[in-house]
Amino acid sequence: MKHKIFKRILLLLLLVLAVIICFPVVFLIVGSLMGTDELNHYLGAVLGKADGFASWALLPTYPTFKAYVQLLLDSPEFFVMFWNSVKMTGAILLGQIVTGVPAAWGFARLDIPGKKVLFNLYIILMLMPFQVTMLSNYLTLDAMHLVDTQWAVILPAAFSTFPVFIMYHFFRSIPKGIIESAELDGANKFQVFLSIGVPLGSSGIVSALVLSFLDAWNLIEQPLTFLKSKTLWPLSLYLPNISMDNAGLAFVASVITLVPSLLVFLAGQNYLEQGIAASAVKE
C-alpha cells in the first residue's frame, strides 16, 4: 500500500516537472502564432512598450502565420545563417568521427605507454569550460590565420574530448574474448577495429554524435569569439540580433531553430540515454 502511494506521488511530481519543462516550448509555439498587436498586449512590459507586468495566454486569440511567412520569405539572412549552421555542424560531426572513434578505441583497447595519463588529461580538458581555453585557442587560430573563418569554430570542436569519453566506455564494454578470437583467426589490430570495434560500438558512436549535434547546433560563445563577419555566423547568433520590435520573428526563429535538435533527439533518444549512462560508469 505504501509502495503504491509513493509511486503515485512520484508520478505526480514527474508529471508536474514535465509540464514545467515543456512550458517554454509551448510558450514559443503560441508566441509564434500571435500577431504583433497581441504580442504587444501580453508582452508590452517586457518589450518596453507598456508599464506593469507581462501576461500570457495558453492559446492565441487570433492565430496567424504572418511571422512565419515574413521569416521564411523575406529574411535571406536567416537562410544564410541556417546553412552556416548545417555546414559547421556537419563538418564538426564528420571530424569527430574521423578523429574521435579511433582515439576512443585506442584508449579502450590498445596497450599504449602512458595511456592512462593521456586519458586523464583528456578528462581534465573535457572539464575545462570554454572561457578557460578561449585565449589560447584564439592565439593559436590567429597564428594559423583561421580567425574569422568557419574553420576556427569547426577544428576545435572536431577534436572535442567529450565524444571520445563517451565512446571509450562503449568500447571497453566489448567482451575481450571476441577480440582475442578475431586475433587468433589472423585479424590485425586495424581489422579488429573495423570488423568488431565499430559494429559493436555503434551505439556509443551514435550516442556521442547525438550529444555532439545538440552541442554544435547551439554554439554561441565560439562563433561569437572567432567569427567577425556576420555572413559566417550560425543560426544560434541570429536570435540575439533580432530587435525588440520584431518579437514575432524571434518566436518563429526560435521554433525553427528548435526543430532540428528536437528531431535528432527523438531519433537518437535511446542512444542518448545509453550515452548518459555510459558517461557515469566508473573504471
Tens digits of residue pLDDT in 224-256: 999 989 899 999 888 777 766 777 888 898 899
Which spans in 151-200 are helix H? 151-158, 162-172, 176-184, 189-192, 198-200
CATH C-level class of 77-279: mainly alpha
Asked if residue 180 lies in contact with residue 109, where contact means CB atoms within 8 angstroms, the answer is: no
Stated pTM of the model: 0.85
Asked if residue 45 lies in contact with residue 51, where contact means CB atoms within 8 angstroms, the answer is: yes
Question: Where, residue-wise, is CATH 1.10.3720.10 in the chain?
Answer: 77-279
Mean pLDDT (whole number) for 186-210: 88
**Dist CA 247 CA 50 (whole Å):** 15
Buried (b) or exposed (e) across 223-234, using 16+ Cβ within 10 A? bebbbeeeebbb
Q: What tens digit of pLDDT does each residue of 111-120 get?
A: 888 888 888 8
Q: What tens digit of pLDDT does each residue of 98-108 get?
A: 999 999 999 98
pLDDT at 7: 84
**Dist CA 249 CA 47 (whole Å):** 14
DSSP class per residue in 229-247: -GGG--GGGTGGGS-GGGH
Task: Report the chain's terminal Cα–Cα distance, integer Å.
Answer: 39
Residue appearing with cell numbers 536570435: 239
